[in-house]
Each structure stands twice: as structure tokens, then as C-alpha cells.
Structure 1
Amino acid sequence: MMDGGKGQVNIALEVLDELHISIPVCGMVKDDHHRTRGLYYQNIEIPIDHNSEGFRLITRVQDEAHRFAIEFHRKLRSQGQVHSILDDIPGIGPARRKALMRTFASLDEIKNAEVEDLKKIPSMDEKSAKNVYNFFRGSEKEDTEATLMEEQ
């Protein structure tokens, strides 16, 4: 049983299939208030009576999974084990990392940003903007240079 719906169940089934493991997998389908409204099993959403013992059990499983995930993340954070790829870029500390994440909607947007876009962030100087740009585009540049050298 997974704390996730159709998408998560289908991905889990793909992984299990690749590993040649055949076990039943179901997921908890949520309503707009993130409360379980049913189960997703064998491509069918099965509604569950909210007054049933089964529903109460599933809700407790969901609550426990949520509690476990929060505690685990808190533990990682307190031990300093939460790591961002942005931490690997020279000149990018916690303040600039936060500014990048506030400015751009996703890591992909940061990866695709031009130096001029990066320099518009108030805490970002030109050197740091170039470091971010080169960090994500460096392998593309190296691939291009290698191709040019092979052609010569």
C-alpha cells in the first residue's frame, strides 16, 4: 500500500516489473483536502465508506507514513544532511541558494538560465552568476569542444 495515487502506483509497478517482482500494489487516492477517499488498485479507483473500519485503518496508515516522513526529514535537516546540487557551486552559499530558488520556479529553470538572468538576482554578482551558468553548462561546453577536436 502506497501513500500515493495512480501515478505513483504505476511507477512502482514499472520498477517492480523491471526487478521481476510480482506483488499487488495499491495506492491511497486523496480528495482536495489531502484525505483518503479510496484506493487505486489494478487501474480502478475503489471508493471506501468513510465510516468503515477499513477506512479508519487506511487513514491511520496514511497519518503514520506522513508522521514518519516529517520526522525523517527533520532528522536529516538537524544533522545537516539535506543537500542541494546548488551547494556544489563555488560562491553559492545558503543566501544565494535561497535567492535562486525564490527567483526561479525549478532547478531546470536555473540550469537553463543565461548569465544576464542570473545577474538580475539582487544578491548575485557577475562571478557567481557565471559560476552557476558554467556549473550547469560546463559539460555541454566540454562536449562541444571534444566534438570540434575530433572533427579536426
Structure 2
Amino acid sequence: MTLADCDRVAEIRVGGWRSAYRGLIPQSYLDGLSVEEDAERRRTYLAQGDGSIVNLIAEETGGEIVGWACHGPYREGEVRTEDAELYAIYVHPDRRGRGVGRALLTESVARCSAAGHGRLLLWVLKENDRARRFYERAAFRADGAEEPFEVDGVTVPEVRYARALAR
């Protein structure tokens, strides 16, 4: 991902939140999401990054960005561990079910394996059945860890998924 990609990635991310999390996260929060603010955050993250976080984009023929994934070191609070974490994966809502997410996830798994990580971990909303099935089809399994995620004063539980990686 480059700085020039940040606006489109923000559109996909905000659109993904609004469609995937409708009914799971307070609508007031989803309505308040700003593509412009998210794009600015992406630009800041890229400019300040230390190279340990990888941002991948998926493009269709013709160069239109239709998906984005981001991975890096797993964070145990503020401490980075030897495991990797998939921080985010979003596909434009019109392109879901066409293999874009699977391609992004496959590439993240391959890169984390090549980097020598033993596991790839991720957090998913407990009630997000669609996402949980997606990860389970890719050999991720809930490992029993749960964590509250607070959104607009509402606690939304997340569960952690893990997948062993080949080194």
C-alpha cells in the first residue's frame, strides 16, 4: 500500500465496518465513521511506520483497489511477541464472495510464515458469524481467549483465533 492508496483503502474499511458490523456495533458509531479521517490515519501510520507492519492491497484488472489487509507483530498490550497478528482485512462489499479476502489472507499467512512467525493470531467480534466461518475455512481456530471491545459505551465481545504457521 502506498500513500496514494489510502483514500480508497479508507473507503473500503469504512464501508466494510458499516456493512459487516451492522447490528453488532452501535449504529451511532458506524454512522460517525469518516472516510476522510480514516484516510488521514492510514497516511499517518504509513509515514510513521517502522516497517514491521505490512499493508497489502488487492486490485482488480485495471488497477481498482477492492481489498486491504494489514498484519504485523502480535501485541500483548504494548509488548510485541514472536507471533504475528492479522490486524485487519476488508473487502469492498460489492466484491465479497469472489476470492479477494481469501487471496489477501493467503498472502498474509505466507508472508508471516516466511518471516518465521510460529502463529498468526487475530481478533474477531464474537457474534460475527460470517467472519468466523471465513477464518475457520482457512484453518484458524478460536483458542479460548476473549476480550471486551467497547464501542459508544456498549461492550462488544471479541474472540481470538489462531493458526499455526510453517516455518
TM-score range, shorter chain: under 0.3
TM-score normalised to the size of structure 2? 0.22
Comparing both structures, which one devotes a greater share of its residues to strand? Answer: 2
